[in-house]
């Protein structure tokens, strides 16, 4: 695995114990993505960047999946996935792979659906990753992606600039968010037909400590916290979040991009 990937996924392993609690507001996004897939039969599903398993769980609930393959570069997240899915869906065959998306050993042309929620923005080469995931689909199979949408996050980006966060962080938004037309182009490069692609903008009014907990869960590698402690940058961000909060807490906008596509039938 590349060092960039290793550090992002190491960060997710660090945050895996708090992930579900800190990012609960994202569950609705996974549910919405799965509810937007075309009606049909999807017995064999690949979940890339599967994390702790919310999106897979939504998939099983809606479609009665038989076999789920979860790929993730973080061992800590995969452990949570195995426990959650095993307990809730004992009849589903679950296969977990500790792999980078670009080095997945899953066979080509073999999945009825490929899902990828809130993970694409962490993959270094998004165009290549979509093409790799698309290859895993059988002809006629469906792909569902939920990722960070371009725009929003102004309050958060201004705060990061104010605390002199390193460029790995301040450049993150331009490099990793995607717009509707950009992901459509990537889907076409992958030989997929876009079915439904849209952006959603939310404004959250959140407790600054809850926002900090979410940041420690999803961006631990950017904070650089030592084991069991907090870096100077972490502390600066925490203070700035409190300073920027009013009676409604920390108010920020963010965009989510949804994409549903199909591999043409042979
Ligand atoms: C924000 S979590 C999303 C998890 C889950 N899909 C969800 O919706 O809750 C992103 C996941 O992508 C994984 N990830 C990041 N980079 C990866 C890569 N290059 N290859 C595979 N997984 C990766 C992380 O380890 C993490 O579990």
Domains, the chain: 3-150+172-204+254-262 (3.40.50.150)
pTM for the full predicted model: 0.91
Q: Phi and psi dihedrals of 45, rounded to 5?
A: -125, 140
Per-residue pLDDT of 33-81, as tens digits, reads 999 999 999 999 999 999 999 999 999 999 999 999 999 999 999 999 9
Residue 203, pLDDT score: 93
Pairing status of strand 111-117 against strand 67-72:
unpaired
Contact between 221 and 10 under an 8 Å Cβ cutoff? The reply is yes
Ligand 1 centre to CA of 191 (Å) is: 24
Q: What is residue 10's predicted lDDT score, i.e. its pLDDT?
A: 75
Length of the chain: 266
Mutate to test the pocket of ligand 1, among 27, 31, 51 (most ligand atoms within 8 A of CB): 51
Please indicate whether residue 225, judged by its CB atom, sits closer than 6 Å to ligand 1: no
Pick the range with the lowest mean pLDDT from 123-132, 188-197, 208-217, 220-229.
220-229
* φ and ψ at residue 76, rounded to 5 degrees: -60, -40
Q: Which of 76, 84, 119, 218 to mutate to test the pocket of ligand 1 (most atoms within 8 A of CB)?
A: 119
Q: Is 119 in the pocket of ligand 1 (CB under 6 A)?
A: yes
Residue 82: the pLDDT is 94
Strand 193-206: give its sheet, edge to edge. Answer: 93-98, 67-72, 44-48, 111-117, 137-152, 250-262, 193-206
| Ligand 1 binding pocket includes 147 (Cβ within 6 Å) | no
Q: Indicate if the pLDDT at residue 12 is higher than 80.
A: no
pLDDT at 31 > cutoff 50: yes
Pick from 115, 11, 38, 110: which is nearest to 71 by CA?
A: 115
Confidence category of residue 1, pLDDT binned at 50, 70, 90: very low
Is the predicted pLDDT of residue 199 greater than 80, yes or no? Answer: yes
Element containing residue 98 per DSSP (H, E): strand 93-98
Lowest mean pLDDT among 9-13, 134-138, 153-157: 9-13
How do residues 223-236 score in pLDDT, each as one tens digit? 988 888 899 999 99
Q: What is the pLDDT of residue 22?
A: 64
Average pLDDT rounded to a whole number, residues 2-11: 57
Q: Which segments of 190-231 does DSSP mark as H helices, in order?
A: 208-218, 220-223
Q: What percent of the chain has pLDDT over 70?
A: 94
Average pLDDT of 175-197? 98
138: helix, strand or coil:
strand
Q: Is the pLDDT of residue 5 over 50?
A: no
Q: Convert the pLDDT of each residue in 96-110 to its tens digit.
A: 999 999 999 999 999
């Amino acid at each position: 695995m590349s060092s960039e990937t290793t550090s992002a996924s190491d960060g997710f392993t660090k945050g895996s114990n708090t992930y579900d609690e800190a990012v609960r507001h994202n569950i609705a996004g996974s549910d919405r993505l799965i509810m937007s897939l075309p009606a049909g039969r999807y017995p064999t599903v690949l979940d890339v960047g599967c994390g702790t398993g919310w999106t897979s769980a939504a998939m099983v609930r809606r479609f009665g999946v038989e076999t789920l393959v979860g790929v993730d570069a973080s061992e800590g997240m995969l452990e949570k996935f195995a426990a959650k899915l095993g307990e809730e869906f004992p009849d589903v065959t679950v296969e977990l792979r500790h792999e980078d998306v670009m080095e997945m050993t899953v066979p080509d042309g073999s999945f009825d659906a490929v899902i990828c929620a809130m993970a694409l923005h962490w993959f270094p080469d998004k165009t290549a990753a979509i093409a790799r995931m698309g290859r895993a689909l059988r002809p006629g199979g469906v792909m569902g992606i939920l990722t960070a949408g371009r725009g929003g996050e102004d309050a958060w980006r201004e705060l990061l600039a104010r605390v002199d966060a390193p460029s790995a962080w301040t450049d993150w938004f331009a490099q990793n968010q995607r717009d509707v037309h950009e992901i459509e182009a990537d889907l076409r490069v992958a030989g997929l037909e876009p079915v439904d692609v849209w952006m959603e903008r939310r404004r959250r009014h959140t407790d600054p400590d809850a926002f900090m907990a979410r940041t420690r869960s999803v961006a631990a590698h950017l904070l650089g916290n030592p084991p069991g402690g907090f870096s100077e940058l972490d502390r600066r961000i925490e203070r700035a979040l409190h300073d920027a909060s009013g009676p409604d807490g920390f108010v920020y906008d963010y965009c989510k991009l949804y994409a549903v596509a199909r591999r043409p039938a042979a």
